[in-house]
Structure 1
Amino acid sequence: MQQLAKPRLTFWQIWHMSFGFFGIQFGFALQNTNTSRIFATLGADIDSLSILWLAAPITGLLVQPLIGYLSDNTWHPTWGRRRPFFFVGSVLASIAMFLMPNSSVLWMAVFVLWLMDASINVSMEPFRAFVGDKLDASQQTGGFAMQTFFIGCGGVIASLLPTIFTDYLGVSNVPVNGAIPDTVRYSFYVGGTVYFLAVLWTVLLSKEDAPADMDAFLAERAANKGLANAVKEILGGFFKMPKTMVQLAIVQFFTWVALFAMWVYTTPSIAQGVFHSSDAQSSAYQEAGNWVGIMFAMYGGVSAIAAFLLPMLAKITSRKMVHLLCLTIGGLSLISIFAITSKEMLLLPMVGVGIAWASVLTMPYAILAGALPANKMGYYMGLFNFFVVIPQIVAGVVLGAILKHFFANQSVKVLMLGGACMVLAGVLTLLVQDKVDQVKAQ
C-alpha cells in the first residue's frame, strides 16, 4: 500500500528534533578523543588499545537493535515513541560521563566505557528513526544533514575542552600519581551536563504523532510481546533486509574499520611522530592528547559546514556519487598523516576527514530510510548499526596484532591502513541501489 506523504516540517521543527544530537556528540567526541589517552595514562600498552576499546562496539551490537525494536513497539500519549529512550539514555550517559574520568584503574575505565557507550546508544539509535518517522522522503536528506550539523558542532566544542581548560583557564594537564589529568576530568563533567540538557531540549520541544491506526498498532505490539519474540524478530531481520541495506552494509564495513583505526590510534601516532613521546605520563604525551582534540575539532567543524552543502551536491549529482567522493577524500587525507611532522599541518588532513565524516553521518542513512518500511524504521535503523559495530569489533581484534607484528608498533601505519579501507568503501558505494536514483531515471 502506498504511504501517504507526511506534512512538511519547518526549519525550526527540524532544528528542535535534531538538537539533542549536539549533546550526544559531546559524549561521543569526548569518548573518541580521550579514551586512548585515559587507557594509556592508566597503564595500557599501545598494542592492547584496540582490544580495550572493544567494549564500545560490542555494546552497540547488543543495544541498538534491541532499542530500535522496543521503540518501534512503544507508544505513550505524553512521551511518544522515541522520546522516552532519548531521555533515559541521556540520564544514564551523563552519569557515566561523570564517572569515566574518575577511573583509578584500567579495568574500571573499560567498565565505564561500556556503561557510557551503552547509554549513548540508547539515546542515539531512536534519533535516526525519528527522522524517518517525522519527515517525508523529500526532507529526509535535509533532516539527517541537520543532525550532522549538530554532531559537528558538538564534536568541535567537546574536542577542544581539554585545550580550553589548559590554555585559557590554567587547569593542570599533567597526570598526578597516575591519575587522569584535571583537564580531562573537567571536560567530561561539562560534557555530561551538556548531553543531558541538549537531549532534554528535543524531548520538550518536539512532538510525535500517534500511530495512524492505533488498534492495529496495539494488536501488533501485543503480538510482539516477550523477550524471546524480540530476539527472534531481531535475528530474523538479517534474512529480510532490503537489498539496499545489504549493499550499504559492505560500504559501512570498510568505512568503520577506518574510523575505528583513527579514533584509537591518532593520539599515540601524533605523540610518537610529532611530539616525540611514547610515555603517557609525560607532559609531551598529554600535550599530544590536547592537540588531537584540536584535530578532531577541525574535522567536526568541517562536517558541520559540509552537512548543508552535501544535500545540494546530491541534488546535482546523486547521493551515491557524493558519498564516493567524500570517502575518497577522507581516506587519502588519513593516509597523508604519515608524511606530516608539523602539528599545524596535521589540521589539513582533518579537513578531508571532516568532509568524509559529514557524508558518513548523512548519505547512508538517507539512502537507507527510503528503502525501509515505516512501521519497522527503528528496528532496521538499529539493525543497520550491526554494520557499524561489527567492523569495529573486527578491527579491535586484529589491529593490535597487525600493529605489533607487521608495523613494528608504528601506529601511524594503522592510520594509513584505515585510509585505504575508507577509499575502498567509497568505490564500493557504486554498487548501492538508491531508490531516489531509480525514481529519477523513470
Structure 2
Amino acid sequence: MRIKKPTLSFWQIFNMNVGFLGIQYSFGLQQSAINPIFLFLGASEEILPILNIAGPVTGLIVQPLIGAISDKTWSPRWGRRKPFFLIGALLGSLCLFAFPLSPALWFAVGLLWILDVGNNMAMEPYRAFVGDKLPEKQLSIGYQMQSLFVGAGILLANASIFLFQDWFGGGEEISGQVPKWLYYSFFIGSFLSIATILWSVLKTPEIPPTDEELEEINRHKALSFSERFKVPFVEIAHAVKDMPKFMWSLSVVYLFQWYALFIYWQFITPLFRTTMGFDTSQAAAQAAKMSTTYNVVTAVVALILVPLTMKFGGKRIYALSLFGTSIALFAIPHITDPVYVLFPMVLFGIGWAAMMGIPYSMVSKIVPQERRGVYMGILNMMIVIPMGIQTLTFGPIFKNLLGANSVNAMLFAGTCFVIAASLALRLKVVKDPNGD
C-alpha cells in the first residue's frame, strides 16, 4: 500500500530545491573554471578531455550505487536520502576550498576526482528525494524548479568569475600559477555547497516508508555485511534488465546531447583564444559571461516550460529545445564580437532548462516508487557514459579529424545536437504499469 502524497505549496517545493543552488554552483565552476585552471597549470588543449575523465568514472560508479543504497535506507532521525547528499555536499565544500590553491596540475586533477565523488553523491539522492516527496501531478513543476536552481547556481558561479577578474584581476599571467582573482569564486562555492543543502534538509521532512517498505529495509539490515555489499550491484543489474523502453530510447538521445555539451564546456575557452585572440584569462572570463547569459535565460524560462510541456507534450518541447541549442553552437564560432556572441546563449539557455527538467520529469512518472533512487542513478549513468566516451575519443578526433581547431570542435558539437533533437522526436512516453 502506497502513502498518498500531499500536494505541496510553491514555497515548499522551492525550499526543497534550494540545495541545488550550491550543487550547481560547484558544477558551474567545473564547466567554466576548472579547465582554465588546468591550462594555467600547464595542460595542453588536446589533453583537456582526458583530464576530465573523473566526471564519467565517478558518476558511473557513485550515482547508481548511492541510488540503490539509499533505496534500502531509512533512519527516523536522518531520513532516507538526506544523509547521502549531506555527506556529498560536505566533501564538495572541502574540495572547492582547496582547488584554487593547487600547486601543480596533478594536484588539481586529483582534487577533481574527489570533488566529482562529492557532487555525484549529493546529486543522485537529491533528485530521488524530490520524486519521493511530490505527487505525480506536481513532478513537472518539481523538476523544473530544479532546473531553475541549476540555472541560478551556474549563473552565480560564472558571474563571479568575470566580476572578480574585473575587480581583482590585471597583470600578466604567470605560468604554473592560478591567478588570485579566481580564488574568491571557489571560496564562495565552498560555503554555498553545504549551506544550501542544510537549508533544504532543515526545511523539508522526508516521507516515511510504508510498512511494506520498512519491512524490506529491515530485512536488508539483517543481512551480513558481504550480502549487503552485493545488494546494490544486484539491484542495478535487475533495474537495467527491467528498465522501461523509454529509458533505452532516451539513452541514445543522451549519448549525442551530453557528448556535445562536454565538447562545448571543454573548448569554449580555447575557442575564444582562437576566434578573438584572447589570452587564457580573457577567454575564461568571456566563457563565464556566455555561461552567465544562458543560465539567466534558464532561470527565467524554467518554470515557463511547465505549462508548455503540459499543452504540447514534453518530448516536443525537449526536441525543439535541443534543435535550438544546435543553432547556438553553429553560430558561436562565426561571431567575433564579445557582446554579440552572447545572443546565441538565449537558445542555449532554453535548451539547458529543458535538458535539466523535462527528462527527469518524464522518467520519474514511469518508474516504480520503490526503485526511484536506482533509476535516477541509471539516468545519470546515461550522462556519464557519454562523458566517458567523449573524454576517451574526442582528443584523437580533435587532433586528427578536426585539425586541432576549436572552431571545428564547436561545429561538431552542433551537429551532435541536431542528431539528438531528431532522436528526441521519436521518443514514445508510455506509463509503466508498475510505476506510480
Classify the secondary structure of the residue corresponding to 2:366: coil
- Structure 1 segments of 4 or more deviating over 6 A? none
Give 1:246 shift.
1.0
Amino acid at match of 2:314: R
Deviation for aligned residue 1:178: 2.1
Matches of 1:334 and 1:173, distance apart in 2 = 32
Q: Which residue of 2 aligns with 1:229?
A: 231
Structure 1 residues 94 and 159 mapped into 2: Cα distance closer, same or farther (>3 Å)? Answer: same
1:288-327 matches, within 5 Å, as: 288-327=283-322
CA distance in 1, matches of 2:272, 2:140: 35
Shift of residue 70 of structure 1?
1.2
Instruction: Please give the alpha-carbon distance, in whole angstroms, between the structure 2 residues aligned to 1:212 and 1:4.
Output: 7
Q: 1:309-356: per-residue Cα shift (whole Å, max 9, x none)?
A: 111111110001000110000111111112111111111111111111
Structure 1 CA distance for aligned equivalents of residues 176 and 96 of structure 2? 20
CA distance in 2, matches of 1:403, 1:344: 27
* Corresponding position of 1:195: 193
Deviation at 1:173, TM superposition (A): 6.9
Distance 1:349 1:216, change over 3 A: same
Residues 65 and 374, structure 2, Cα contact 8 Å, conserved in 1? yes
Per-residue CA deviations over 1:349-375 (Å, capped at 9, x if unaligned) read 111111111011111111100111001
Tell me whether 1:393 sits opposite 2:388 in the alignment: yes
- Given candidates 265, 268, 272, the residue that maps to 2:267 is 265
1:198-250 CA-partner distances (Å, limit 9, x unpaired):
11101111100110113344235546952123223223332221112111111
1:331-350 counterparts in 2 under 5 A?
331-350=326-345
Q: Secondary structure at the match of 2:302?
A: helix
1:366 paired with 2:364, answer: no
**Equivalent position to 2:244, from 242, 257, 260:** 242
SS in 1 for 2:425: helix
| 1:206 matches 2:204 | yes
Aligned partners of 1:81 and 1:348: how far apart in 2? 43
Q: Does the CA-based 8 Å contact 2:40-2:175 persist in structure 1?
A: no
1:12 positional shift: 1.1
Q: Which amino acid aligns with 2:355?
A: V
Distance 1:94 1:380 in 2: 27
User: After superposition, where does 1:98-177 map in structure 2 within 5 Å?
Assistant: 98-167=97-166, 169-172=167-170, 174-177=172-175
1:11-67 superposed Cα distances (whole Å, 9 cap, x missing partner)? 111111100000101100011101210111111111111111111121111110011
Partner of 1:41: 40
Q: What is the TM-score of this pair, normalised by structure 2?
A: 0.95
What is aligned with 1:31?
30
Q: CA deviation at 1:437?
A: 12
Find the aligned partners of 2:35 and 2:171 in 1 and give their Cα distance: 16
Query: Which sits farther off after the overlay, 133-142 or 334-343?
Result: 334-343
Code of the aligned partner of 1:237? A
Q: CA RMSD in A?
A: 1.8
Does the aligned pair in 1 maintain the 2:143–2:360 contact within 8 Å?
A: yes
For residues 252-291 of structure 1, the C-alpha deviation after alignment (integer angstroms, 9 at most, x for no partner) is: 11110111111111110112111x15xxxxxx32111111
Shift of residue 385, structure 1, vs aligned partner: 1.1
- Whether the aligned pair in 2 keeps the contact of 1:257 and 1:395 (CA below 8 Å) is yes
Q: Is the 8 A contact 1:172 1:182 kept in 2?
A: no
* Identical-residue share of aligned pairs (%): 37
Partner amino acid, structure 2, of 1:166: Q
1:430 is displaced (CA, Å) by 2.2
Q: Secondary structure at the match of 2:281?
A: helix
**Aligned partners of 1:173 and 1:181 also within 8 Å:** no
Helix, strand or coil for the counterpart of 1:51? helix
Taking structure 1 as the reference length, the TM-score comes to 0.93
Does the CA contact (< 8 Å) of 2:321 and 2:351 recur in 1? yes
Q: How far, CA to CA, are the matches of 1:436 and 1:324 in structure 2?
A: 20
Partner of 2:7: 8
Letter in 2 for 1:392: M
Q: Report deviation, 1:189.
A: 0.8
| CA spacing shift, 1:5–1:433, aligned 2, 3 Å | farther
Q: In the alignment, which residue of structure 2 is the partner of 1:218?
A: 218
2:104–2:176 Cα contact (<8 Å) kept? no
Does the CA contact (< 8 Å) of 2:294 and 2:349 recur in 1?
A: yes
State whether residues 67 and 377 of structure 2, in contact with CA within 8 Å, keep that contact through their aligned partners in structure 1: yes
> Mean Cα displacement is larger for which, 59-68 or 218-227?
218-227
Q: Which moved more, 1:126-135 or 1:213-222?
A: 213-222
Task: After TM superposition, give the deviation of residue 383 of structure 1 in Å.
Answer: 1.3
Seen in structure 2, the aligned counterparts of structure 1 residues 174 and 89 have a Cα distance that, compared at 3 Å, is farther
Q: 1:222, 1:334 → 2: CA distance?
A: 53
Q: Distance in 2 between matches of 1:182 and 1:390?
A: 35
- Write out per-residue CA displacement over residues 110-139 of structure 1, whole angstroms, 9 at most, x where no aligned residue: 111111111011111111101210111110
Q: What CA distance in whole angstroms lies between the structure 2 residues aligned with 1:170 and 1:106? A: 24
Give the corresponding residue for 1:376. Answer: 371
Match of 2:417 among 399, 419, 422: 422
Residue 316 of structure 1 aligns to a residue in which SS?
A: helix
* Alpha-carbon distance in structure 2 between the residues aligned to 1:433 and 1:335: 29
Aligned to 1:280: none
The runs of 5 or more residues in structure 1 that have no matched partner are 278-283
